[in-house]
Chain A
């Protein structure tokens, strides 16, 4: 059963085809049976029975914006996840039943305890509580915060509803925990803008803190801040040494790819990546960039077990000394195709 993927130490699986393929292939059959749209797509895209992970068909990530795909009955929808998306764009909608939601929570806990240990740490959240207001429809930021909150205690939000630093209560938190082990979580650009660029310096010793951040580098690339700069600057200013970025997307539950000390992203036991050649979707050799395909054994309630993202990445190798499986880097986002006919004068 899928439990074996959880029970083993995370980031320890070497042979993904042997351990992961049977689970994901079951999902492939399951969704063909339960989701008509998935079957139609699979019938066109998949030319033979898959026998390895890379032979499974993959859905384009944007299909979750255009269609509401699910393999469960309406009444079994327990939670709907939506992507934050930029203003004006349609958000993705992901339908979870109780079972898939439970797996998602379990998966996250397995991954996080890998870096945080079993003890719950005092937690500083670099965001405002206001992102959680609409409980029915979680934005990616809200969902991320809620998901991570269970790994902390004494939660303190850095910002008030107006995105101003709450200095008074923050001081209290700092006096208590400065120089001690704590968990800091926030979206990458929020951490940069509201923590790094704040005027908080005096007496703030975060050398024992563990900073976990996610959300992508798009906004920071504009400021010419890359991962190395990000780490170095935060270290210089606050003394933080443990900084973990993770890569994931609302469209695929279970895919939380965590960065190790070397700055590479690693796959948990129940997920994998394949880098695809954009010319013909063949598998790229290690070291050659391509589009990132993500696979996860968790999505039971909707056909999101194999997705081609619009992110460009490169697989750096397999079976690092400490963490097993593939390790990779995200290089950026593919541009939107801009092929226009005579047909859009006013767009």
Chain B
């Protein structure tokens, strides 16, 4: 059974041959300085790339890959370990990457590489993204440089379709699987046999919401309101509002008067950014929105809607359930008068809460009321898409290494 290999070099490769390569010698150490240099070099190339540097998501990625950040990551990973603990890689890690332009899988790839693991990335053979192609070109050319030859063994990207046999073989051969994808993808992989000790990380379907204290927003100066709106825009429209951590629901804490005032003000402000910056195909977006409005009306999910045009729609949510938006600027919105009403919205599905104006004690309250529920991140508006090594409840940098207990050699037999 052959698959198409994209990185380190383009060729057809027999899947068994690929698996054999896992047995090659481990030439990198955990937190190897060569990986830090490699990441830094990729970072520079991304920033120099004319296409990629136009996209905020890739600029953030490049920023995250810098040497100083990696040194910081290593230092914080080491600080929590005691002196008897030595870190070692988990082994071979299979990454199942999403078929959109979301860059999250690149972050987890580099964390895994930094942990000294051998990585194999599965890309959908249907993936059609100029940006990702460009990023892969950068990785290929960096890997081909003399100084990074040791890393060649550590990153393999392959593209294939639905072939179950390939998934079965890979699942049985790796020591860890990171599965970015929807519920059905996760379930499919959960059904495949793995080694007994294989460690899995699932990044399934999640929704995210934004909580805004109306009075906080309304008291902001005109400049700060604009600044806030730009941040909200970046959180939502960057990946067509389809990133897992992009808010689909806006919950407004305040009186009904404050709510109306907020909505009218914010709608126009946000629309200014959208009409200036958001690039979309109006014909397809119009049909998408009308379909979703009709579906939501039939399901009684929404009671009414409010829009300036089809690139920005606020739908008045009727109940406490968290529906999935169709993206492209389709927001569910609801007024909440008391903080303890918020917990009605928590479910296993909630990933990120981005917020404006919540106090320490209110956040503390949210944390406690999320016990046994979803909610993996509470961040300020503007940081919804910012990657953190702690993601979906996993501290990836810790979890992607194995901990080896080595007793201190200070005991001596009497001679």
Contacts and interface: CB of A to CB of B under 8 A. Distances in A.
Interface in A14-48: 37, 40-41, 43-45
Contacts of A342: 98, 100, 102, 104, 180-182, 203, 206, 242-244
Given A40-B298, A45-B293, A345 B309 contact: no
Contacts, number: 141
Interface in B281-302: 281-288, 290-291, 293-298, 300, 302
Interface in B190-206: 203, 205-206
A138 to B, nearest CB: 25
A324 B180 CA distance: 57
A347 B183 CA distance: 12
A62 interface: yes
Q: Which of B124, B205, B284, B290 is the most central at the interface, judged by chain A CB atoms within 10 Å of its CB?
A: B290
A37 B300 CA distance: 10
A339 to B, nearest CB: 4
Nearest to B241: A339
B105 to A, nearest CB: 9
Contacts of B203: 342
A2 interface: no
18 contacts: A37-B298, A40-B297, A44-B304, A44-B305, A279-B309, A280-B310, A334-B284, A337-B285, A337-B288, A337-B328, A339-B327, A340-B242, A341-B239, A341-B242, A342-B181, A343-B205, A344-B99, A347-B126
A278 B286 contact: yes
Contact of A341 (B126, B284, B327): B327
A67 B296 CA distance: 13
Interface in B207-244: 239-244
Q: How large is the interface on A (under 10, 10 to 19, 20 to 34, 35 or more residues)?
A: 35 or more
Contacts of A280: 307-310
Contacts of A281: 286, 290, 310
Interface of B: 96-100, 102, 104, 124, 126, 162, 179-185, 188, 203, 205-206, 239-244, 281-288, 290-291, 293-298, 300, 302-305, 307-311, 326-328
A340 B283 contact: no
A291 B284 CA distance: 10
B205 A339 contact: no
Given A342-B100, A344-B99, 10 more contacts: A40-B298, A45-B294, A278-B283, A280-B309, A312-B283, A335-B283, A341-B242, A342-B104, A345-B98, A347-B126
A343 B206 CA distance: 8
B281 A335 contact: yes
B242 A66 contact: no
A40 B307 CA distance: 19
Contacts of A345: 96-99, 124, 179-182, 185
A67 B298 CA distance: 10
Contacts of A158: none
A66 B291 CA distance: 10
B300 A40 contact: yes
A63 interface: yes
A107 to B, nearest CB: 26
A345 B177 CA distance: 14
A23 B284 CA distance: 31
A278 B281 CA distance: 9
Contacts of B96: 345
B328 to A, nearest CB: 5
A35 to B, nearest CB: 11
A102 B172 CA distance: 63
A343 B203 CA distance: 9
Interface string A170-188: 0000000000000000000
Given A340-B100, A344-B98, A60 B326 contact: no
Q: Which of A278, A312, A334, A339 is the most central at the interface, judged by chain B CB atoms within 10 Å of its CB?
A: A339
A220 interface: no
Given A60-B287, A291-B283, A346-B185, A341 B100 contact: yes
Contacts of B284: 334-338
Chain A contact residues: helix, strand, loop or mixed: loop
Contacts of A339: 240-242, 288, 326-328
B294 A344 contact: no
Contacts of B126: 347
A41 B303 CA distance: 10
Contact of B100 (A44, A60, A335, A344): A344
Q: Which of B239, B241, B297 is the most central at the interface, judged by chain A CB atoms within 10 Å of its CB?
A: B297
Interface string A252-290: 000000000000000000000000101111000000000
Given A280-B309, A341-B242, A291 B297 contact: no
A41 to B, nearest CB: 5
Contacts of A43: 297
A244 to B, nearest CB: 27
A148 interface: no
B291 A340 contact: no
Nearest to B102: A342
A89 to B, nearest CB: 14
B100 to A, nearest CB: 4
Nearest to B308: A280
Contacts of B185: 344-346
A44 to B, nearest CB: 4
A264 to B, nearest CB: 21
Interface in A296-347: 308, 310, 312, 334-347
Contacts of A45: 293-294, 297
Given A44-B297, A66-B295, A334 B304 contact: no
A249 interface: no
A45 to B, nearest CB: 7
Nearest to B275: A279
A44 B283 CA distance: 21
Nearest to B288: A337
A170 to B, nearest CB: 42
Contacts of A341: 98, 100, 102, 239, 242-244, 327
A63 B310 contact: no
B209 to A, nearest CB: 15
A59 interface: yes
Nearest to A340: B100
Contact of A308 (B100, B181, B287, B297): B287
Contacts of B182: 342-346
Contacts of A338: 284
Contacts of A66: 291, 295
Nearest to B186: A345
A11 B178 CA distance: 63
Contacts of B180: 342, 345
A124 to B, nearest CB: 37
Contacts of B307: 280
B297 A60 contact: no
A162 to B, nearest CB: 32
B258 to A, nearest CB: 24
